[in-house]
């Protein structure tokens, strides 16, 4: 019951935030913040009350060995159930989602003037969809949540976005939806295959794990799943929606897009792609690792060429998510842990960078770095936080991103040394774009004489929390690794069982 309650909290909170607009423009954001806080407390309380089974006992296809699971009948005609379950991996991503949700609300505290009620409602609904994606263990439900994330995010970009919002929102929706439709067909084919083998319909993840699909069809089905996940991640040739969407979205939208929605693609790949079709996934691995490395380098090079602050951060996301793709398909414990670590670390650092970009845009009404310069003198607090997160993003040891990328590279080296060597180049290119961003924006002579307010206590608190998170991941990553390693080990063990 607890897991669906979590999703319901956000859905109801969204409705409440919308309605509360009548009481005053300040209400919706407070309601949204409280809703997210309540959900976080619920999650913490749930974790506190759990028996915490031994991690080694986790079996991917055994719901009882997961932390929590719940299931209700939904559409018996097709054996579709409203089934949710949580393990360590889901828990880490849930916590990330809720925390970044709060950052998003804080980041757009004063930015959104028009229709604040509907804005916060859409924000919470997108997050509710993301929670559903991280919890669903029925593939039909997974698909529904996948799409539920999409519509409110489309509205966030389309209504509150910047000057090119129509094009960006449309591109975002069409890309993700086209991938989603292919995934829908893949899910249906998989369900039909299960039905043909077992005589009854089921979309249940555990059923599919126990009776896996094999043969030539499974490669096609995996390709359908990957179509959705690679678009969302995004991987190299399918990324073109991302720079537009991230740049044009309002600050909170960018934070959620980069911090949470991109992660659903990686999560889907691990949880569904690799676990359900291990043989086919192994066949795809070289291609996927190649795409990952291509994304790493291509994103970094393009990031360097940008003059738009947000666009630069957006391309750096393409580069960082390339590491995730490389890590997942390098397929060993080290690389997988690194990929998961990268999900969390990239979420925190990019959320912060987008918040800073939003703060600059709100003050200067521009994202053009050529018009900035010397801002450190005018906005020392923003400058200092920007420096911290920029060096986190370039992979400075001591911060989470370094650990993540190091683990991915160390893992990938065992499998594909040359690809790994190529990806390592990004440590140089990453430094180039991150430092040039800092230099163009904050160093040099001050370009503008106007005075702007610096970060206040509210923003500093949010930034401080993100920085602490990154420091914690960088200095003592073991708790996160301990939380997720059993899950990854269970998926790997399941894949091994199926090896011919």
Partner 1 sequence: MNAALLPALAPLAILGLGTVLLMAQVAARRSALTSPWLSAAVLALALGAAAAGWPRDAVAATPLLAVDAYARLFSVLIIGAALVTVLISGPWLAPLGSEQHEYYLLLLLATFGAVVLVHATHIASLMLGMETLSVALYALIAYPDKTWLPIEAGLKYLVLSSAATAIMLFGFALLYAAVGELGFAALGARLAHGDPMLLGAAALMVIAGLAFKLSLVPFHMWTPDVYQGAPIPIAGYLATVSKVAIFAALLRWYQVSGLARHAAIVDILTLLAVASMLVGNLLALRQANVRRLLGYSSIAHMGYLLVPLVVYGHTAQPQLALEAASCYVVTYAVSNLAAFVALAALYGTGGADPACDVEHLAGLFWRQPLIALLLCTALLSLAGIPLTAGFVGKFYIVAAGAEVQLWVPLAALLIGSAIGLYYYLRVVYAMTAAAPAPQPSIPGAAIGARTLCVALVALVFYLGMYPQPLIAALRGMF
Binding site for partner 1 (CB under 8 A): 74-78, 114-115, 118, 143-144, 147-148, 150-151, 154-155, 158-159, 166, 169-170, 173-174, 177-178, 181-182, 184-185, 188-189, 191-192
SS3 10: helix
For residue 192, the minimal CB distance to partner 1 (Å) is: 5
3-class SS letters over 334-396: HHHHHHHHHHHHHHHHHHHHHHHHHHHHHHHCCCEHHHCCCHHHHCHHHHHHHHHHHHHHCCC
For the chain, give percent helix, strand, coil, nearest 5: 80, 5, 20
Among the listed residues 294, 276, 292, the one whose alpha carbon sits nearest the alpha carbon of residue 329 = 292
Q: What is the DSSP letter of 72?
A: E
For residue 144, the minimal CB distance to partner 1 (Å) is: 4
Closer CB to partner 1, 103 or 157, in the complex: 157
Closer CB to partner 1, 25 or 37, in the complex: 25
Could you give the C-alpha distances from 483 to 58, 90, 156, 466, 499, in angstroms and in order? 12, 10, 33, 20, 26
Closer CB to partner 1, 99 or 221, in the complex: 221
For residue 94, the minimal CB distance to partner 1 (Å) is: 21
For residue 259, the minimal CB distance to partner 1 (Å) is: 23
Closer CB to partner 1, 167 or 458, in the complex: 167
For residue 177, the minimal CB distance to partner 1 (Å) is: 6
Q: What is the DSSP letter of 399?
A: S
For residue 471, the minimal CB distance to partner 1 (Å) is: 40
Distance CA 211, CA 203 (A): 12
DSSP codes of every residue in 135-172: HB-BHHHHHHHHHHTHHHHHHHHHHH--TTHHHHHHHH
Q: In the beta sheet, which residues pair with residue 444?
A: none
Closer CB to partner 1, 179 or 234, in the complex: 179
CB 459 within 8 A of CB 106: yes
Helix/strand number for the chain, H first, E second: 23, 2
Distance CA 96, CA 132 (A): 14
For residue 447, the minimal CB distance to partner 1 (Å) is: 31
Residues 6 or more apart whose CB falls under 8 angstroms from that of 30 comprise: none
Closer CB to partner 1, 7 or 313, in the complex: 7
Token code pair at residue 405: 């990328």
Closer CB to partner 1, 10 or 296, in the complex: 10
For residue 105, the minimal CB distance to partner 1 (Å) is: 21
Closer CB to partner 1, 188 or 333, in the complex: 188
For residue 143, the minimal CB distance to partner 1 (Å) is: 7
Closer CB to partner 1, 159 or 387, in the complex: 159
Peptide bond into 234 cis (omega under 30): yes
């Amino acid at each position: 019951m607890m897991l669906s309650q979590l999703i319901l909290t956000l859905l109801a909170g969204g409705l409440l935030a919308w309605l509360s607009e009548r009481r005053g423009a300040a209400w919706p954001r407070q309601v949204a913040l409280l809703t997210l806080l309540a959900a976080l407390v619920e999650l913490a309380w749930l974790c506190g009350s759990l028996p915490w089974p031994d991690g080694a006992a986790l079996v991917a296809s055994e719901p009882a060995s997961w932390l929590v699971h719940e299931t209700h009948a939904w559409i018996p005609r097709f054996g579709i159930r409203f089934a949710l379950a949580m393990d360590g991996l889901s828990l880490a991503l849930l916590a990330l989602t809720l925390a970044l949700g709060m950052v998003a609300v804080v980041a757009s505290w004063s930015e959104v003037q028009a229709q604040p009620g509907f804005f916060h409602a859409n924000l919470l609904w997108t997050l509710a969809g993301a929670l559903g994606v991280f919890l669903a263990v029925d593939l039909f439900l997974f698909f529904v949540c996948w799409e539920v994330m999409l519509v409110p995010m489309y509205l966030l970009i389309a209504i509150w976005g910047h000057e090119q919002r129509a094009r960006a929102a449309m591109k975002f929706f069409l890309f993700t939806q086209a991938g989603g439709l292919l995934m829908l067909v893949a899910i249906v084919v998989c369900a039909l295959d299960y039905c043909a083998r077992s005589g009854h319909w089921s979309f249940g993840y555990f059923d599919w794990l126990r009776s896996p699909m094999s043969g030539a069809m499974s490669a096609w089905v995996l390709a359908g799943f990957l179509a959705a996940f690679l678009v969302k991640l995004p991987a190299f040739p399918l990324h073109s929606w991302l720079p537009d969407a991230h740049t044009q979205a309002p600050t909170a939208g960018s934070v959620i897009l980069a911090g949470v929605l991109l992660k659903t693609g990686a999560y889907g790949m691990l949880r569904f792609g690799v676990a359900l079709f291990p043989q086919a996934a192994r066949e795809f691995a070289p291609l996927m690792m190649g795409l990952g490395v291509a994304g790493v380098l291509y994103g970094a090079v393009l990031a360097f060429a940008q003059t738009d602050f947000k666009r630069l951060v957006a391309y750096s996301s393409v580069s960082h998510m390339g590491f995730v793709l490389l890590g997942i398909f390098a397929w060993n414990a080290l690389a997988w842990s690194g990929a998961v670590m990268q999900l969390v670390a990239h979420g925190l650092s990019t959320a912060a960078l987008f918040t800073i970009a939003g703060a600059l845009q709100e003050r200067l009404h521009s994202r053009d770095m050529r018009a900035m310069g010397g801002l450190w003198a005018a906005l020392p607090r923003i400058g200092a936080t920007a420096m911290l997160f920029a060096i986190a993003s370039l992979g400075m040891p001591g911060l989470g991103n370094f650990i993540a990328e190091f683990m991915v590279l160390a893992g990938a080296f065992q499998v594909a040394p040359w690809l790994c060597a190529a990806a390592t180049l990004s440590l140089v290119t990453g430094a180039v774009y991150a430092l040039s961003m800092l230099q163009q924006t904050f160093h040099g002579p001050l370009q503008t004489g106007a005075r702007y307010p610096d970060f206040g206590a509210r923003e500093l608190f949010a930034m401080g929390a993100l920085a602490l998170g990154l420091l914690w991941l960088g200095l003592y990553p073991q708790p996160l690794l301990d939380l997720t390693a059993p899950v990854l080990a269970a998926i790997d063990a399941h894949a091994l069982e199926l090896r011919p």
